A and B are shown apart, each in its own frame.
Chain A
Amino acid sequence: MAEAAVKALEDAGVSALNSIYVGNMLGEVLQEQAHLGTLLAEEIGLVGVPAYRVEAAEASGAAALYAGVLDILSGGSDAVLVVGGEKLSDGLAEEVSSALMMSQRQEYEGFIGAEFYSLNALLYKLYIKRYGNGDGVAMFPVISHEHAAGVAHAQYPFKLNLEKVLSSPFVAEPLRRMEISGIGDGAAAIVLISERLAEKIKSPKAEIYVASATDYLTPFERENPLRFQSLSMAVNKVLNISKVDRDRIDFVELHDATSIMAAISMESSGFAEAGQAAKLVKRGEYGLNGSLPCNTFGGLKARGHPIGATALYQVSEAHLQLTGQAGKNQIDSAEIGLTQSLGGVAATAFVTLMKKV
């Protein structure tokens, strides 16, 4: 996190900060380390600056970003650092799986081992039962990998075809190994500045708006489990505050922790009718040359999902797109992008809308 933070500050040309927000979910469990905000401030030579950790399950990085944006909007701060990081590989796979159940109700799903992938599998079955198109859902990891090929910061920078996905072993039927993001480590950092300070800063910038909403923790207590209401609300809100129409969105960074979450996310965001995302992805609509490119650097599946860092990877990638620095992944005339971060099975959603300046 210190590395990412220092690089971000140097790239931005910012050296004084009003606050620091750290996004991290499992530090207390896997590293037995709390007090991450203060720890990071010390590591980057900024002792004295207010700093604290923000947590919202797998959307912790986005929650930290949300806090940072609100800090700037309050008028009290001009420069805020948001860093996200996670070191999942310190834990054994079964320890990480257990820790991730903290996103659900420990006395209910956690108690019986209804872990994240099993809940996704149940949603997947409900989706297929209602709409069909199971192999369409499985196309999401294919396009993510398509985009990650050759990307320097991606965890799995190679292509995958549908056959490979559909022949990978079940994690929790019908969800297959190649449809879920892997366990990874990483960090990413964003420097947020006020409009006032922006006039003096020369480094490439993009405008950012944030919105968030919550839903019932247990997906099956929701009226329609196949709609991420938290995401719908957050998307609508961010479009509202930024005064942008949905059809002006040029690309989306999805929270594709699983293929089924990607499909339902597109539908819940209003980019596809219910049950249609799986068709649109098959038709190539979500590729880099499609009508609505998704996961332009590989998304959670191929670029990686080091939980606390994930949302900040998404925002960094959107920044690259909007400032023309995306290299071979560049979307032509990318003006407005959306990033989405979900906690639990979309029990919380944070959406950022970013605009080219």
Chain B
Amino acid sequence: MRVPRYWRSIPFKYRLAGWRCNHCGTFHRNKPVVCKRCGSKDFAETELPKTGKLIAYTIVKFAPKEFSEIAPYAIGLIELDDGTRIVSQLTDFREEELREGMRVEAVFRRIRVNGEQGVIEYGFKFRPVTT
């Protein structure tokens, strides 16, 4: 991924930071011009909660080229503690222990490495809460 693109979304990728519409509460990953749901222009910066529950998950067997190194990998749909739904990779799990409804928490991980020379792209993944 080109550097400027990666850099632009660092706050969301590192801290689940974004903007919330003060009128209808919709979360936006990037600074909106207008709210995608209600059209309001009134926003506040915010960070999404880092814990939630796993609603559904799947294991990607045939990965896009950027992810062939880590395939197979898990993609989960998570409902965070404030009700926001988010799609994320899952990590640090034993396949048998994954179950819908389980508590999960955000962790900071490498998402893409871009070989030996490229920029390392970091972001969040979710893992089962065990500690």
A115 at the interface (CB under 8 A from B): yes
For B74, the closest partner residue in chain A by CB is A118
A129 at the interface (CB under 8 A from B): yes
Q: Mark B41-62, 1 if CB is under 8 A from A, else 0.
A: 0000000000000011111111
Chain B nearest CB: distance from A123 CB in Å?
Answer: 9
A172 to B62, CA, bound (A): 8
| Interface band, chain B | 35 or more
For B84, the closest partner residue in chain A by CB is A221
Q: List 26 A-B contacts (CB under 8 A).
A: A93-B62, A94-B65, A107-B8, A108-B87, A111-B1, A111-B13, A111-B112, A111-B121, A112-B123, A112-B125, A113-B64, A113-B66, A113-B75, A114-B75, A117-B60, A117-B62, A118-B75, A119-B75, A122-B57, A122-B58, A126-B77, A129-B100, A169-B61, A170-B59, A171-B62, A172-B58
Chain A nearest CB: distance from B104 CB in Å?
Answer: 15
Contact of A125 with B58 in the complex, beta carbons under 8 Å: yes
Contact of B29 among A108, A112, A175 (CB under 8 A): A108
Count CB-based A-B contacts (< 8 Å): 101
Contact of A107 with B85 in the complex, beta carbons under 8 Å: no
Q: Known A-B contacts: A101-B64, A171-B62, A173-B59. Give 14 more (CB < 8 A).
A: A92-B65, A107-B12, A109-B87, A112-B75, A115-B63, A115-B64, A117-B60, A118-B60, A118-B75, A119-B75, A122-B56, A125-B56, A126-B55, A172-B59
Interface centre among A97, A114, A118, A121 (most CB of B within 10 A): A118
B68 at the interface (CB under 8 A from A): yes
Give every chain A residue within 8 A of B57 (Cβ-Cβ). Answer: 122, 125
For A115, the closest partner residue in chain B by CB is B64
Instruction: Please report A residues at the B interface, Cβ cutoff 8 Å.
Output: 92-95, 97-98, 100-101, 106-109, 111-115, 117-119, 121-122, 125-126, 129, 169-175, 216, 218, 220-221
Contact of B9 with A129 in the complex, beta carbons under 8 Å: no
A313 to B73, CA, bound (A): 35
Chain A nearest CB: distance from B81 CB in Å?
Answer: 16
For A94, the closest partner residue in chain B by CB is B65
Interface centre among B55, B56, B64, B85 (most CB of A within 10 A): B64
For B125, the closest partner residue in chain A by CB is A112
Contact of B77 among A92, A113, A122 (CB under 8 A): A122
Give every chain A residue within 8 A of B77 (Cβ-Cβ). Answer: 122, 126, 220
Give every chain A residue within 8 A of B75 (Cβ-Cβ). Answer: 112-114, 118-119, 121-122, 172
Given contacts A111-B123, A112-B123, A125-B56, contact A220 B87 (CB under 8 A): yes
Give every chain B residue within 8 A of A122 (Cβ-Cβ). Answer: 56-58, 75, 77, 87
Contact of B85 with A95 in the complex, beta carbons under 8 Å: no
B36 at the interface (CB under 8 A from A): yes
Give every chain A residue within 8 A of B63 (Cβ-Cβ). Answer: 94, 97, 113, 115
For B75, the closest partner residue in chain A by CB is A118
Contact of B87 with A107 in the complex, beta carbons under 8 Å: no
Given contacts A171-B61, A172-B60, A216-B36, contact A113 B87 (CB under 8 A): no
Contact of B59 with A220 in the complex, beta carbons under 8 Å: no
Contact of A112 among B68, B89, B100 (CB under 8 A): B89
A100 to B12, CA, bound (A): 23
Interface centre among B12, B65, B67, B87 (most CB of A within 10 A): B87
B107 at the interface (CB under 8 A from A): no
A121 to B75, CA, bound (A): 10
Q: Mark B102-129, 1 if CB is under 8 A from A, else 0.
A: 0000000001100000000101010000
Chain B nearest CB: distance from A352 CB in Å?
Answer: 28
Contact of B60 with A115 in the complex, beta carbons under 8 Å: yes
A121 to B77, CA, bound (A): 11
Q: 7 tightest A-B contacts by CB?
A: A121-B58, A98-B64, A94-B65, A125-B56, A113-B67, A97-B64, A118-B75
Give every chain B residue within 8 A of A101 (Cβ-Cβ). Answer: 64
Contact of B56 among A93, A109, A111, A126 (CB under 8 A): A126
For A223, the closest partner residue in chain B by CB is B37
Q: Mark B7-32, 1 if CB is under 8 A from A, else 0.
A: 01100110000000000000001100
Chain B nearest CB: distance from A30 CB in Å?
Answer: 13
A100 to B63, CA, bound (A): 12
Q: Considering the complex, which residues of chain B in the window 77-109 have a beta carbon less than 8 Å from any beta carbon of chain A?
A: 77, 85-89, 100
Give every chain B residue within 8 A of A175 (Cβ-Cβ). Answer: 58
Contact of A112 with B87 in the complex, beta carbons under 8 Å: yes
A117 to B61, CA, bound (A): 10
A106 to B123, CA, bound (A): 14
